[in-house]
Structure 1
Amino acid sequence: MSEPLHTLAQLEQKQDFVRRHIGPSESEMQSMLSEVGASSLDDLMEQTVPGSIRLKQGLAIGESQTEAEALANLKNVAATNKINRSHIGMGYSDTFTPNVILRNVLENPGWYTAYTPYQPEIAQGRLEALLNFQQVTLDLTGLELASASLLDEATAAAEAMTLAKRMSKNKHSNCYFIADNVHPQTIDVVKNRADMFGFEVTVGKAENASDCDCFGALLQYPGTTGEIQNISTIIAAVQANNGIVAVAADIMSLVLLKAPGDLGADVVLGSAQRFGVPMGYGGPHAAFFATRDKYKRSLPGRIIGVSKDTRGRPALRMALQTREQHIRREKANSNICTAQVLLANMASFYAVYHGPEGLKTIASRIHRFTDILAAGLQQKGFELAHNTWFDTITVKVADKAAVLNSALAKNVNLRADLDGAVGVSLDETTTRAHIEDLFEIFCGADHGLDVAALDSAIVANGSQSIPAELVRTNDILTNEVFNKYQSETEMLRYIKSLEDKDLALNHSMISLGSCTMKLNATAEMIPVTWPEFGKLHPFAPVEQAQGYSTMINTLEKWLINITGYDAVSMQPNSGAQGEYAGLITIQKYHASRGESHRDICLIPSSAHGTNPATANMVSLKVVVVDCDKRGNIDLNDLRAKAAEAGDNLSCIMVTYPSTHGVYEETIKEVCDIVHQYGGQVYMDGANMNAQVGITAPGFIGSDVSHLNLHKTFCIPHGGGGPGMGPIGVKSHLAPFLPGHEVVNMGGEHANNGAVSAAPWGSASILPISYMYINMMGSEGLKKATEVAILNANYIAAKLTGHYPVLYKGRNDKVAHECIIDLRPLKEASGVTELDVAKRLNDYGFHAPTMSFPVAGTLMIEPTESESKAELDRFCEAMISIRNEIAKVESGEWDATDNPLHNAPHTLADICDSEWNRSYDRQLAAYPVQAVARNKFWPSVNRIDDVYGDRNLICSCPGVESYREE
């Protein structure tokens, strides 16, 4: 009997994106529901989610679109962006992304779906790329210690200020000096940060820095208008008064200019964007940050260090990792616990691919074109603001509007915010034809200038635009890695060799509790590399960015509907930045009501370290609220501490579902108690994947939340960044959202200070979330949440009986994640949570979140996009490991001579002719049959963390070490 014909609607439904995003099939869901004791997804929600917080009506996103429909829709939106040639500068330059890096890194899920390298044995590839990034930073800045990237130049400058406050010996000073030739967006962000700490800021001429009794100073090199100053005397004068000096520098200029560290700088920072990363309307881009070795304990962000594994081989890891995980909590000056790894890796590969000679060629060409442009304009009678420059000149003009209009007629953007002048910045994409266009813009069609003749004159007379004492004379990037891979063949193989050392989502599930490592669908990623999004300067006239405006406005409306809030700001470019922006918004609201005295922040004891760190950054006093034995906020303790705070209560920071992975029944009561005393409720968005379409923070009673777009809304983690942390707020907080100094963002909040360098944060990755929401639609988003909850409960059910599940909510259900308790097993067998985590590597899995929020546990979050087969494979691995623990517990296996203690096992172990362990090699490498079908080999053995911290080496090996190897 032939199958019945399907209707057209049914056939179209078969192409539905929702079915491809959600892992289990409908029949598999029924089997899983039976396992967890529910008859349907609706029944599971009834059993799991408190009725008082369940939404009474569905989302208003609309129906899901197919991949083809959504891509066509967004392509039409993108087409309304007008991509003028940008000569705006101000820290953003057009660049060429080498195609070998574009295709094999930026567009490669092996790189963009990896997680932060907390498990370094299966992250050696991205760790090496980050070590290369640190080496580039060290060579170009002339300093001793570099981080593995920060969020952007402006926030890096703010981090430099707080480092200065911690480390300066001028303890009585509360003043920070900023030179007036620092980029305006940087001044904006630093002043906003200073205001929250209660620091005074003085902005003035760089040469007057020592006149201010300051704990630190920020200088720009070259200045925002292009001038290159010898700042060594200024630096020395500030340091003589016990101040710490930070220098914001242009990374490409440092190829030719003397290193700021050699001029005396204590900190050097900037953006690595022009090393092959598109402008993308503001981000994401990796900031670089370097300082002196004596400040290493205050260096913000991550540091990649060289350690050794149990075979004595060199191995990489995040140095001082525990410092990051705890982030000094309420004693913190920084809440930074992230980086821009994917973008830092792109920048480091750009340096590897071009090598020192290639970079010198690029930088020299940019500078030569700038000399030619300057000479031609001076020949025509134009006065330049400065007589030194690298790539930027400031041209004084009588009729500024006429020049700008002439430029726009040629589809060119010049810098327009200078009094009586325009700025012109060149980059590696500049050609002779572009110089001709600029001559015509300034001088008219009959300018009579000849580029070749001007060039010949410069060659004959020598360039005078970089002061002789500031010309770099030392070699850069002498390490072998920067001198070995200049052919595309070699570069391709180098990138592939590193990728093969890393476990990412393209290999197996990454079940990280609180981190939501879900599918980043290819259709969502494709628009990121469209030039309509990538080539737009963040300070281009807003009328040229209509595509971005349409997309961002639509995305904001969707997020408002999903969260139950009234307004959204896209500016925060990480979750930590979102927390910070949210608390600033609360504090500015209180101040507007004459209640600046509200300075107490209540935080549950289970909170992540960023919560108290962020509270401290806005000068709030942290009061910890106890949790009960089930992991819920202790209401009696909350009432007592809220009453004690009284009129001084600013807010509470809560996570929902709780950090313990359950839906707290009393969450509305928590909100009511805080509101009773005039406080605001900040709801951390880390667990939003368990809310979408089912409940909403605004509906629950929260006033503000940040949203991890890199978790719930499918922006990939990129090996530890990029991220996006926009905030949603209720209407009474909307007037206090972040503004921007350079771009008028409109609305009530336009004049508020900025929290990130670009007005809409990392705008070029917003298409990912836009595509995801559009392709899922209202019903798909709700179903994703339901299946995420089903998958977590399925794992909890399968592992119950083998491991205790630490916290459960109503009807013994968990939310979207579950915590398994290894402490009883550790006590009985000596096997640690670290042993289990490393043994999972042998099974081909990244470990779940380890020892958070409870030490000695693993927190598992499978997400909705993992199939039943993958969940079963993971459960099989965990049950097999439990059986291995039993052998240690019983004494069948020795306490140290067992596959758990020695995990992970490498090919070097298995191929060792002197295998002398009591267990079989086969058991070590292929503990269950499923592993053999898709074996992932860790590239190093277990790494010695203590050795790495005691011997802090954060630079690439020298040539000699390669020869020894």
Structure 2
Amino acid sequence: MLELQPAIAPPAAPPAPLPPFALRHIGITPAAEAAMVEALGYASLDQLIDQAVPAAIRLQRPLNLPQPQSEYEALASLRAIASQNQIRRSLIGMGYSPCITPPVIQRNILENPGWYTAYTPYQAEIAQGRLEALLNFQTMIIDLTGLPIANASLLDEGTAAAEAMAMSYSVCKNKSNRFFISEACHPQTLEVVITRAEPLGIEVIIGDHMTMDFEETPVFGALLQYPTTDGVVWDYRGCIERVHGVGGLVTLAADPLALTLLTSPGELGADIAVGSTQRLGVPLGFGGPHAAYFATQEAYKRQIPGRIVGVSQDSQGNPALRLALQTREQHIRRDKATSNICTAQVLLAVIASMYGVYHGPEGLKAIAATIHHHATVLAAGLKRLNYSVVDGPIFDTVCIGVGEASAPALLAAAAERGFNLRLMEPGHLAIACDELSTSEEITELLQIFAHRETLPFTLEDLTPNTTYPEALTRTTPFLQDPVFNRYHSETELLRYLHQLESKDLALNTAMIPLGSCTMKLNAAAEMFPVTWPEFGQIHPFAPRSQTQGYQILFNQLETWLAEITGFAAISLQPNAGSQGEYAGLQVIRAYHRDRGDLHRTICLIPESAHGTNPASAVMCGMKVVSIKCDQDGDINLTDLEAKAEKYSDQLAALMVTYPSTHGVFETGIRNICEVIHRHGGQVYMDGANMNAQVGLCRPGDFGADVCHLNLHKTFCIPHGGGGPGVGPIGVAAHLAPYLPGHGVTGLGGEKGIGAIAAAPWGSASILVISWMYIAMMGATGLTAATKAAILSANYIAHQLDAAYPVLFKGVKGLVAHECIIDLRPLKKHSIEVDDVAKRLMDYGFHAPTMSWPVIGTMMIEPTESESLAELDRFCGAMLAIRAEAEAVITGAADPQDNPLKNAPHTAQSLICGDWSHPYSREVAAYPMVDLKRHKFWPVVGRIDNAYGDRNLVCSCIGMEAYQA
């Protein structure tokens, strides 16, 4: 019997319901979605997506991910995983120390969205709180190191040491390509520096600083550990003089807590000091995130990597803070940059600085002295037990000669009693004391080494040597500024932290519509597990048997990210987007070299690329060749094909961002990849814009060989005021053997490129955030989020297009997840993009990304998390500002004395003194009615950047006036 066919097609199956968490994460309700789609002229959201995303790259099936879980279920699942980590007393040292995070700091900074959801302080007028905290950090580092300038901050100690090597190479005049590293440096630091040195043609010499003949073998720089990895405190003056004698620079990797007792690196003669501030109140977190420091001489202030906070003044002449020497930013220097660092560990630097503020100089010195006392008592007891212990001065680490035969048994005995000690070859163990050490613990350790419960002596019988030689004893004061001597009670610190927080605009105040930066919801359920002890109190070099929970977490997250991106393998080690770029290009370089293609060194990069792209390529030993963009902002295919043909035998890679840096889905992306592959190159994709792809298309499917992911963008790790970030890479199968390894833990294969970060899995503790996000969203939620992000961007583009022309659109007239609006027509009327950005502060908004990738424009990315009401509020503010600009254009407003030119307006400027402006106070402060219900007040007026660069001050000097 024939089956009758229906006359019309049956109705499409209703869309799958969104997971419960997705309904909270996505700010656009079904009713709002319908209204927005209608405003854009489409019948449905899916119809819009079909027009916006090229059909040739669309994923034809749902992502293969586990079913989404509710917040409660996901937290329970993660708790079960966390329970498989074992918290032991890790006395391993190696630059990582258990410490106490003061609860007032944990609750009010680490767990506070007012601190962790803020963006990098590029709009300084509404970032004065975290800028002050970072200035405190710099002051603390300057004081402790005895060097006049410091940044805020770097990613980890290994990266900071590698940056010191690169800077030394750049500024040294002796023409040597050799860099000396003391064999007493931490092994993970050695590995990161070696990884970074090789593509630059730097020869690394590892040896004994006492016997190295620098006259016979001149070097451009040297790296020394202070104290050494086995605990010894050396007086490096003689070695430093010998390096200086051949024109080289010396870097000391110094423990900041030890510097409260020891002569500072600056007084020893060092040119650079680097290190980790982890032990200043930051949890171990299985290796990160932790803020590293970098301090150097004044002469190198324009070569110092990373960011410097400086004191300037605002339009009323009041002291104000901002990022100094901004011309060093990588998007300006591009392939001339000496570093690709574009982010920092701001949140962790803030915690470390507040640890210093809370304890003050005497408190820090007391903590250090107690740690030192415990270490020297332990050393004295071990000597009494007839073990070989170094006679030289130590700080916190005791190295014990036990013999090769005894070492395994002693390690096992210690492990049985809950201690992780460090095995040092051959036949030596090391024990590192820390802030948690107690006399009872020292007794228990001595019992292990005595092989009995009853010791033949008491701790009181011992006579430890707690004094340092005069040449190594700190005599210079530190942390004398009032900020380090004022807030030692919890009440005072709590109020200080709240005052600083109130000066900053974060996501808990308003949307932050930054293009390319994806400031989306960082849900509380995602953040909770970060401070669980099972994740936070694990040493990065703890035995693998104690970290099974972390291994499960890594495996699952890697599997999910591989499915989302279409790649065969993932490395979670890179601890920033810039480091992901570097790792990806290093993998490509290793692939070519393994095939004998040493000549493949050309990297093609579009003119519109983010500045870290060319900087990363140069750091990998590649030569950058620019590719033009056409009038629509797409890669110029003719120029690409010509350059690929010209450099065919030398072509290593193309770096491309997708969707493009101009905010559109380029329809020719497959062809672009095919051109590169045809000429033997590899395609590196910058994953900054992955928020427009998840669930809709996958880089691994349409031709990319490598892609880094910004977990602090697409996958919900918060920006933390400028860091932490995480930048894992995904690679195609043929590149998997070259993924980063880590020698300390045996991670990686024989062809791996070596360590990119100091810790094997980078900033491991915050990977739980992305795990929670994916677990709760599932395939349906992730795909819906991407669609909502694209819808919101197109809605804003549609609302603003008449007032601010949208500069680039796809072939169907749509944008991706962000749009670039053109403010250049206003410039001929003396209205700058900066004027609009500062006026937005009066409306309660952080400005979008300014003048990138096109000068005089704004790049807007609303993300999927903002509601229609917030999108309309932002569009209303932008249209109101355009009306204010029109008043200037028509002559109705004074061209120089108007709300745009005078923005932002502070409460002080409105209340104190005469009001002489031709517009009212109400127009200045409350340009929209709803601001009268809730108003965010900038605390300083427009900042004079040029003044700050001419008068660089990067410590608390002058801040008393600011406090007043």
Could you say which TM-score interval applies, normalised by the shorter chain? over 0.9
Between the aligned partners of 2:615 and 2:554, the Cα distance in structure 1 is 30
Shift of 1:64: 1.2
Amino acid of the structure 2 residue aligned with 1:97: T
Between the aligned partners of 1:157 and 1:189, the Cα distance in structure 2 is 8
Partner SS for 1:422:
strand
**Structure 2 residue 374 is the aligned partner of structure 1 residue 369:** yes
Shift of 1:810: 2.4
Amino acid of the structure 2 residue aligned with 1:22: I
**Who is 1:611 aligned against?**
613
For residue 308 of structure 2, the aligned residue among 291, 303, 319 is 303
**Structure 2 residue 250 is the aligned partner of structure 1 residue 248:** no
**Who is 1:272 aligned against?**
277
**Who is 1:70 aligned against?**
74
Indicate the percent of aligned positions where both proteins have the same amino acid: 58
The answer to whether the 8 A contact 1:87-1:426 is kept is yes
The answer to whether the 8 A contact 1:327-1:335 is kept is no
**Who is 2:6 aligned against?**
none
Written as runs of structure 1 = structure 2, the 5 A alignment for 1:344-493 is: 344-398=349-403, 399-448=406-455, 450-454=457-461, 457-458=463-464, 463-464=466-467, 466-493=468-495
Shift of 1:387: 2.6
The answer to whether the 8 A contact 2:584-2:684 is kept is yes
**Who is 1:702 aligned against?**
704
For residue 517 of structure 1, the aligned residue among 516, 519, 525 is 519
Between the aligned partners of 1:959 and 1:707, the Cα distance in structure 2 is 39
**Who is 1:335 aligned against?**
340
**Structure 2 residue 262 is the aligned partner of structure 1 residue 260:** no
**Who is 2:321 aligned against?**
316
Partner SS for 1:697:
coil
Partner SS for 1:862:
coil
Query: After superposition, what is the alpha-carbon deviation per residue over 1:56-81, rounded to whole angstroms, capped at 9, x for unaligned?
Result: 11101122110000000000000000
> For the structure 1 residues 731 and 915, does the alpha-carbon distance in structure 2 shift closer, same or farther, using more than 3 Å as the test?
same
The answer to whether the 8 A contact 1:604-1:626 is kept is yes
> For the structure 1 residues 79 and 882, does the alpha-carbon distance in structure 2 shift closer, same or farther, using more than 3 Å as the test?
same
Amino acid of the structure 2 residue aligned with 1:611: N
Shift of 1:328: 2.1
**Who is 2:728 aligned against?**
726
For residue 289 of structure 1, the aligned residue among 294, 298, 309 is 294
**Who is 1:5 aligned against?**
none
Query: After superposition, what is the alpha-carbon deviation per residue over 1:852-893, rounded to whole angstroms, capped at 9, x for unaligned?
Result: 000000000000000000000000000000100000000111
**Who is 1:565 aligned against?**
567
> For the structure 1 residues 846 and 449, does the alpha-carbon distance in structure 2 shift closer, same or farther, using more than 3 Å as the test?
farther
Which portions of structure 1, spanning 4 or more consecutive aligned residues, are displaced by more than 6 angstroms? 12-15
Shift of 1:799: 0.8
For residue 553 of structure 1, the aligned residue among 538, 552, 555 is 555
The answer to whether the 8 A contact 1:179-1:209 is kept is no
**Structure 2 residue 192 is the aligned partner of structure 1 residue 189:** yes
**Structure 2 residue 48 is the aligned partner of structure 1 residue 44:** yes
**Who is 1:816 aligned against?**
817
The answer to whether the 8 A contact 2:18-2:781 is kept is no
- Structure 1 stretch 40-49 or stretch 637-646: which is displaced more? 40-49
Between the aligned partners of 2:221 and 2:36, the Cα distance in structure 1 is 59
Between the aligned partners of 2:126 and 2:851, the Cα distance in structure 1 is 19
Amino acid of the structure 2 residue aligned with 1:223: T
Amino acid of the structure 2 residue aligned with 1:851: S
The answer to whether the 8 A contact 1:376-1:454 is kept is no
Amino acid of the structure 1 residue aligned with 2:442: I
**Who is 1:622 aligned against?**
624
Shift of 1:416: 1.5
Shift of 1:933: 2.1
> For the structure 1 residues 519 and 900, does the alpha-carbon distance in structure 2 shift closer, same or farther, using more than 3 Å as the test?
same
**Who is 2:660 aligned against?**
658
Shift of 1:446: 3.4
Shift of 1:647: 1.1
> For the structure 1 residues 311 and 590, does the alpha-carbon distance in structure 2 shift closer, same or farther, using more than 3 Å as the test?
same
Amino acid of the structure 2 residue aligned with 1:791: S
**Who is 1:835 aligned against?**
835
**Who is 1:154 aligned against?**
158
> For the structure 1 residues 816 and 386, does the alpha-carbon distance in structure 2 shift closer, same or farther, using more than 3 Å as the test?
farther
The answer to whether the 8 A contact 2:696-2:783 is kept is yes
> For the structure 1 residues 421 and 688, does the alpha-carbon distance in structure 2 shift closer, same or farther, using more than 3 Å as the test?
same
Between the aligned partners of 1:806 and 1:752, the Cα distance in structure 2 is 41
The answer to whether the 8 A contact 2:800-2:875 is kept is yes
**Who is 1:101 aligned against?**
105
Query: After superposition, what is the alpha-carbon deviation per residue over 1:100-154, rounded to whole angstroms, capped at 9, x for unaligned?
Result: 0000000000000000000000000000000000000001000010001100000
**Who is 2:11 aligned against?**
none
Between the aligned partners of 1:454 and 1:838, the Cα distance in structure 2 is 67
Query: After superposition, what is the alpha-carbon deviation per residue over 1:483-524, rounded to whole angstroms, capped at 9, x for unaligned?
Result: 000000000000000000000000000000000000000000
> For the structure 1 residues 207 and 651, does the alpha-carbon distance in structure 2 shift closer, same or farther, using more than 3 Å as the test?
same
Between the aligned partners of 1:290 and 1:597, the Cα distance in structure 2 is 37
Query: After superposition, what is the alpha-carbon deviation per residue over 1:799-852, rounded to whole angstroms, capped at 9, x for unaligned?
Result: 12111000000221000000000001222x211000000000000000000000
Between the aligned partners of 1:209 and 1:902, the Cα distance in structure 2 is 61
**Who is 1:764 aligned against?**
765
The answer to whether the 8 A contact 1:270-1:287 is kept is yes
Partner SS for 1:297:
coil
Shift of 1:323: 1.3
> For the structure 1 residues 935 and 962, does the alpha-carbon distance in structure 2 shift closer, same or farther, using more than 3 Å as the test?
closer
Between the aligned partners of 1:483 and 1:640, the Cα distance in structure 2 is 64
Partner SS for 1:429:
coil
For residue 673 of structure 2, the aligned residue among 648, 652, 671 is 671
The answer to whether the 8 A contact 1:501-1:938 is kept is yes
**Structure 2 residue 732 is the aligned partner of structure 1 residue 716:** no
Between the aligned partners of 2:72 and 2:640, the Cα distance in structure 1 is 51
**Who is 2:65 aligned against?**
61
Between the aligned partners of 2:383 and 2:947, the Cα distance in structure 1 is 59
Shift of 1:13: 7.1
> For the structure 1 residues 386 and 813, does the alpha-carbon distance in structure 2 shift closer, same or farther, using more than 3 Å as the test?
farther
Between the aligned partners of 1:469 and 1:215, the Cα distance in structure 2 is 27
**Structure 2 residue 30 is the aligned partner of structure 1 residue 23:** no
Per the normalisation by structure 1, the TM-score is 0.97
**Who is 1:753 aligned against?**
754
CA RMSD of aligned residues (A): 1.4
Between the aligned partners of 1:743 and 1:114, the Cα distance in structure 2 is 35
Partner SS for 1:745:
coil
Between the aligned partners of 1:210 and 1:789, the Cα distance in structure 2 is 62
Shift of 1:447: 4.3
Amino acid of the structure 2 residue aligned with 1:917: H
**Who is 1:6 aligned against?**
none
Shift of 1:445: 2.4
Amino acid of the structure 2 residue aligned with 1:437: E
**Who is 1:530 aligned against?**
532
**Aligned residues between the structures:** 946
Amino acid of the structure 2 residue aligned with 1:825: L
Shift of 1:42: 1.2
Shift of 1:49: 0.4
Amino acid of the structure 2 residue aligned with 1:289: F
The answer to whether the 8 A contact 1:510-1:848 is kept is yes
Between the aligned partners of 1:569 and 1:786, the Cα distance in structure 2 is 27
**Who is 1:580 aligned against?**
582
Between the aligned partners of 2:245 and 2:228, the Cα distance in structure 1 is 23
Partner SS for 2:134:
helix
Between the aligned partners of 1:642 and 1:532, the Cα distance in structure 2 is 50
Between the aligned partners of 1:668 and 1:449, the Cα distance in structure 2 is 76
Query: After superposition, what is the alpha-carbon deviation per residue over 1:717-762, rounded to whole angstroms, capped at 9, x for unaligned?
Result: 000000000000001101111111201125555x541010000000
Shift of 1:45: 1.0
> For the structure 1 residues 253 and 14, does the alpha-carbon distance in structure 2 shift closer, same or farther, using more than 3 Å as the test?
same
Query: After superposition, what is the alpha-carbon deviation per residue over 1:684-727, rounded to whole angstroms, capped at 9, x for unaligned?
Result: 01000000000011011100010000000000000000000000
Partner SS for 1:706:
strand
Amino acid of the structure 1 residue aligned with 2:189: T
The answer to whether the 8 A contact 1:181-1:223 is kept is yes
The answer to whether the 8 A contact 1:479-1:959 is kept is no
Written as runs of structure 1 = structure 2, the 5 A alignment for 1:766-781 is: 766-781=767-782
